Structure 1
Amino acid sequence: MSDKPSVLFVCVHNAGRSQMAAAYLHHLSGGAVEVRSAGSAPAGQVNPSAVEAMAEEGIDIHAEKPKVLTDDAVQASDVVVTMGCGDTCPIYPGKRYEDWDLEDPAGQGLEAVRPIRDEIRRRIQGLLDELGVPLAQS
């Protein structure tokens, strides 16, 4: 078992919010947090507007692929952050769950995705603080 805290981000398609959150957490923690993301009904590809919005931040997610949510991923995580997956997210006793109410970037252009990205970054910084993980030097 790792000494690193582990966080799983879950949304329906694993193509926008959860991908951006996972990328920010990995980037801002400097690898000090084990990061996973998944979707209850994964899309075929990551949202191009999310890819472009993260590229503006110097974070490349173009090669990421949406992944299906599994019980194993939930069980292996200390914190599970849901973003609109509703009742499809498995609940296990002893896990810390957070539900982040964020607009879905699906079908939206870059201008609409930027504020979602920025809110995700703000929440990731708060999560790192709660986990006691310092921000990595960029």
Structure 2
Amino acid sequence: MTTPPTVLFICQHNAGRSQLGAHLLGVIAPGEFHATSAGLKPADEINPVVAQSLQEVGADTSAARPRLVTETDLATADVVVTMKPGLQLPAPIRGRHVEWEFPNPEHWDLDGVRGMRDAIAARVRILAGELSS
């Protein structure tokens, strides 16, 4: 048995966009990948509206905690998905780099976050399909 590829999602605070990406990958392709997320300036907690939107699609966010992206993360991830162009990462990316552009949902209501969740889910489905083939 081979180890599942690691897919690292990165955004500024690791409270919204990157949490959506990692959790959605776990829902869309359970067990196929090791999905993780991190941020450049982590917030204290995951955005509660983001967590609620993820729970609606079956993601368990109870253990989700924003964390700082490390050089080791960037050196060991098979795929790094940055959720905003131009992020200043602390080290080079060793694996494949995928760059998406999603706005910061920090002050959004649930309906707004649902729209972003669904847009990220569509991208995650495509990425999972590419990585599985």
Q: Report the TM-score, using the length of structure 1 for normalisation.
A: 0.88
1:85 Cα deviation from its structure 2 partner: 6.6
Equivalences, count: 131
The residue correspondences of 1:71-82 to structure 2 (distance < 5 A) are 71-82=71-82
Partner of 1:46: 46
Q: Which moved more, 1:94-103 or 1:66-75?
A: 94-103
Q: Distance in 1 between matches of 2:85 and 2:73?
A: 15
Q: Is residue 17 of structure 2 the alignment partner of residue 24 of structure 1?
A: no
Instruction: Please identify, of 64-73 and 24-33, the stretch whose mean Cα deviation from structure 2 is larger.
Output: 24-33
1:91 maps to: 92
- Is the 1:49–1:113 Cα contact (8 Å) retained in structure 2? yes
Where does the alignment leave 5 or more consecutive residues of structure 1 unmatched?
A: 134-138
Counterpart-to-counterpart distance in 2, 1:85 and 1:54: 24
- Code of the residue aligned with 2:92 in structure 1: it is I
Q: TM-score, normalised by structure 2?
A: 0.91
Residue 72 to residue 15, structure 1, CA distance change in 2 (3 Å): same
* Stretch of structure 1 that moved more, 21-30 or 43-52: 21-30
> What is the deviation of 1:31?
1.4
Paired with 2:4 and 2:87, the residues of 1 have a C-alpha distance of 28
- Opposite residue 127 of structure 2, the aligned amino acid is L
SS at match of 1:75: helix
State the identity as a percent: 37
Question: Distance in 2 between the 1:9 and 1:54 partners?
Answer: 15
Q: C-alpha root-mean-square deviation of aligned residues, in Å? A: 1.5
Q: Which string of whole-angstrom CA distances, capped at 9 and with x for unpartnered residues, describes residues 27-86 of structure 1?
A: 222111011110000000000110111111121214310010101011111110001273
Letter in 2 for 1:98: V
